[in-house]
Structure formats: structure tokens, C-alpha cells
Amino acid sequence: MSRTGIEAALNDLLFNRGITLAEAAERHFAPDYRQRTDGEWADRAQFLDHIGHLRGIVADGHVDVHEELYDGTKYADRHTCHITKTDGSTVAMEVYVFADLTADGRFRRIEETTLMLKGTDADRDLGSAR
């Protein structure tokens, strides 16, 4: 099983403009994918709508994975996402993730909690799929 991880998924979704959003989603997320961020659920379509919006306001960035654990089809990590927006402002969010993977290694479900390290209240929407 070739498994995805949060760094590869976020790089393809937000920072790799050499692939389409549809290609990134197919590579890392199951068709029945759903996500809960800070208590709010989003299905795959809602999640991808949000990522499409982010692609319009994110100019660059990177992900630092601090811890990452795989146990069969279970996944957990703690990472920090550093983002530079098209207006030049920067955002940093620490994220705690628990997830389920499909048999082929894509994310089926992610539940995450975010902690804003740098940015404004309006930037909190960067971490939310709603």
C-alpha cells in the first residue's frame, strides 16, 4: 500500500500548481472523504470548494510535520502549515490530525483541531473547510 500523508496532500492541494485540484484530490482523498475541522464537518465537495478558494488567496507556503504515525489504516500527526497569502501577509497554524486511510492509502476521513500561531481572526478560515 502506498500511503499518503498530510505534507504530500497539502503540498499538492495548495502549493503545487503543476497539477489540478481534481488531480490532487484523486491522488490523496477517497471519493467518500469527509473532514471535521474544529468541530465542523465537511463532505468531499465542500472540502474541495474550500481548497479551490484557498488556491486563489495562497501564494506560497510549506508544511512542517513534527510527528507522524501510521498504524494500518489509522494515521495521526501534528504539523504546522506556514502560508504566504497573495496580499503578502503570512499565516501559521499548528494542526493536530487523526485520520482513517483507505486500503489504497488515501484519506477517507480526517478530524483535526487547529491552533492559530500567526495571523488575524479572518485567517482562521484558512484552516476550516466550511
pLDDT tens digits, 14-72: 999 999 999 999 999 999 999 999 999 999 999 999 999 999 999 999 999 999 999 99
The pLDDT tens digits of the residues spanning 84-97 come to 999 999 999 999 99
**What does the block give as the cell for 113?**
483541531
DSSP string, 70-125: EETTEEEEEEEEEEEETTS-EEEEEEEEEEEE-TTS-EEEEEEEEEEEES-GGGGG
pLDDT at 128: 55
The answer, yes or no, to whether residue 130 has pLDDT greater than 70, is: no
pTM (2 d.p.): 0.91
Question: Average per-residue pLDDT in the chain?
Answer: 94
**What does the block give as the cell for 30?**
477517497
